[in-house]
Amino acid sequence: MEQREIRTLVNRQRRFFYTGKTQHMAFREIALRRLQISIMAHEDEINRALRLDLGKSASEAYMCETGMVLAEISYMLKHMRQFGKDQTVRTPLAQFASRSFRKPSPYGVTLIMSPWNYPFLLTMEPLVDALAAGNTAIVKPSAYSPFTSEIMAKIISECLPKKYVAVVNGGRKENQWLLKEKFDYIFFTGSQAVGKEVMAHAAKHLTPVTLELGGKSPCIVDETANIKLAARRIVFGKYLNCGQTCVAPDYVYCAALVKDVLVDEMKKQIRKQFGDDPLANADYGRIVNEKHFRRLIGLIDPTKVVAGGECDSTLLQIAPTIMDQVTFEDAVMQEEIFGPILPVMTFHSLDAVISQINRREHPLALYMFTESKANADRVMTNCGFGGGCINDTVIHLATSEMGFGGFGESGMGSYHGKTGFDTFSHYKSIVDKKTWMDLPMRYQPYNKVFDFLIRLFMH
């Protein structure tokens, strides 16, 4: 798509938004039902696309992508009429007689820019929230997941007109052209570097943004933890989608007393979940492209590898890998890993762990394995992070009942369920003043009676 076509598309969507059709809940419901039906009709093609882009199995594709999008649609269809109602609030006595209320209103033309690691989920779920809130949307998927981008364009074009929802495929050139346009809201999921660029462009138009970024999400295991269960759940969360998950445990921070036991149990779990030769496992995915494959290989220190490390440069696969005796000075700790490499570090004091985490960039997620409620409370209260779990990994984002997002370096804003509806809505604060009476005391000339009454009514 050329730059002029993008500009035409934005203008066409703005004209459509101002017709007022998206303001009606019935219109939004029809759109979401059409999207729901189209997704279900194309599920096999979605699975095939995710297999081609990332090597995902059909089971993982449904569990982590298609199923979650369908769940968000169902949730919105059930709740969005309630979400869209005016919210009456208390009116101060000084404003008698009137009604005060907050009115949720769509922003208008939105831009949704999504990444390649969960290309279907992280495109379609924010789209569902945007449509439920009454917006139009231009969707820009990642160029690194072309097969999934193609099927999403097909699904959307079959059930919704371009003046309402459109997909713009392409690479950096198309990203730049889109960001030069004036949108009413931008929702971006991806890296910090690109997030900063998106925010800089948005600032030129004073466009509000949500940034869903990432970071080095720690996984703390103390000496009271159920080690076997911790190992099982850490291995699941870390190596899901070959570690290409923004909320994957980036590194394990383990109490010295149980570190060796935990490492042994994680080795066992890798074999149990992926087999003796994970690279021969048809359900184990691959790295998205050669650039990221080479980057990940460069983070592996062979002298510290205690499990895995095998790779296949032809298939872009790296076996689930554990590195022990890692320090914050190692290369693997200098950036978000975003791959199947798990560094393990040791601690002797939980206070030191909290201090180390807080002096670094705010992570998107944090996980704590412990049987001590006091320890869990200390970490969850005193560490800054987006969201997380106690005694599990990654599952906190798999619900429409809680918002998901980070802050600072891991992003800004959140979505899912009601929080997603709110993200794509502007709440207008409105006072409806009645006309059957008009108290004269607020009008000049002021006097002592006014001074007395205004102090009385405003406290």
User: Which residues carry out catalysis?
Assistant: 212, 246
- The single-letter DSSP state of residue 166 is E
Q: What is the residue whose two structure tokens read 């996980």?
A: 367
- In degrees to the nearest 10, what's the CA dihedral of 300, 328, 237, 299? -20
CA distances, 38 to each of 32, 53, 56, 128 (Å): 10, 21, 21, 13
Burial of 143: CB neighbours in 10 Å, binned 0-12, 13-18, 19+: middle
How far apart, in whole angstroms, are the C-alpha atoms of residue 336 and residue 245?
10
Q: Which H or E run contains 135?
A: none
* Residue keyed to tokens 């022990």: 324
Torsion of CA 161, 165, 168, 173, to 10 degrees: 130
Burial 365-398 (b: 16+ CB within 10 A, else e): bbbbbbeeeebbebbeeebbbbbbbbebbbebbe
User: CA-to-CA distance for 333 and 318, rounded, in angstroms?
Assistant: 18
- Whether residue 97 contacts residue 437, with contact meaning beta carbons closer than 8 Å, is answered with yes
The dihedrals phi and psi of 255, each to the nearest 5 degrees, come to -60, 135
Nearest to 116 by CA among 99, 97, 140: 140
- Quick check: 52 and 147 in contact, CB under 8 A? yes
Q: What distance in Å separates the CA atoms of residue 333 and residue 430, rounded to the nearest whole number?
A: 50
Q: Please enumerate in sequence order all residues whose Cβ is within 8 A of that of 441, keeping only pairs 6 or more positions apart, or say none.
A: 449, 450, 453, 454
